[in-house]
Structure 1
Amino acid sequence: MANKLDIVIMDRAQSSMFLVDITIPYDENLVRAETEKKRKYLVLVLAHEVTAMWHVESAEIIPTVISANGLIPVSLAHHLRRLGFRGNSLAAKMQKVLLLDSARIVRRLLSLSP
């Protein structure tokens, strides 16, 4: 049920795919969430199944992890570069969206309290 990928990017010219899985854990679970994503897809051998199913030469799993409070692991910059993004502007935008949504959730919860 929860084994679906968030984003699949296919590069037909290079005959490759990027399988992007996004997770937003709490701060203390940041590193554990990233290693869990990598382990989950290695155990499921998803990359091999995708290469056979879509007839591509390679499929790479890109775990994209950013905490609910905007903390970013060191590996996120590398993963974004693998997807073709340069600089830190995308990571900064991701942080901004996360922080604004977290604030919206907190405001909504506070307005429910008597």
Structure 2
Amino acid sequence: MAWKQNGCKKRGRGTDIGEQPKEDLLVYLSIEIDRSIEHNRPDTVIWDKVAKTALIIDFTVPQDYNLARAYGEKITKYEMRDIYQLRKVDIMPLIISVNGLIPRKTTEHLKELSLPQNAILWIQKAVILGTVNIIRKVLHPH
């Protein structure tokens, strides 16, 4: 993975970000933001302390008709540049509907992350299998 090659350290829940010299990959970390929101845990944050930037990657699986709204909510959710004195905060919402529809922006974000082209197929398959599993549990409870 790219973050291992660039000297990043993988970190977990509630870990202090002030210990590592270059970059941190933070997973499921609650972050402090300008306003109070119910869920302030992005899925992944790549924090570059030298360049004073952060990349937030946040996944969501909405209904087909909520794709645009879900994208807008993810973009406006994390306002943290002033609190952490960052030069730049990039937010990459990765959104796939419960039926596997992928907005154009999600495709662009996956290309920016330099993921293989078939990553979209893997993600769609995982989402659709999850949807089928939920439907199966509802129709045939054990």
Residue ranges of structure 1 left out of the alignment (5+ in a row): none
Greater helix fraction, Structure 1 or Structure 2:
1
Deviation at 1:101, TM superposition (A): 0.9
**Out of 59, 63, 70, which is 2:89 matched to?**
59
TM-score, with length taken from structure 1: 0.77
The alignment yields a C-alpha RMSD, in angstroms, of 2.2
Which amino acid counterpart does residue 42 of structure 2 have in structure 1?
L
- Cα pair distance change 1:86/1:36, threshold 3 Å: same
Residue of structure 2 equivalent to 1:77: 107
Structure with higher RCO (Cα < 8 A, 6+ apart): 1
Q: Give distance in 2, aligned partners of 1:91 and 1:12.
A: 30
Q: Unaligned 5+ residue runs, structure 2?
A: 1-37
Change (3 A) 1:97 1:64: same
After TM superposition, the runs of 4+ consecutive aligned structure 1 residues lying more than 6 A away are none
TM-score by length of 2: 0.63
* Pairs within 5 Å for 1:5-24: 5-11=42-48, 16-24=53-61
Superimposed CA distance per residue, residues 33-76 of structure 1 (whole angstroms, 9 cap, x where no aligned partner): 101211223xxx224434x2xxx653311111110111000111
Aligned-residue sequence identity (percent) comes to 33
Aligned length: 105
Give distance in 1, aligned partners of 2:55 and 2:131: 28
Residue 111 in structure 1 maps to residue 140 in structure 2: yes
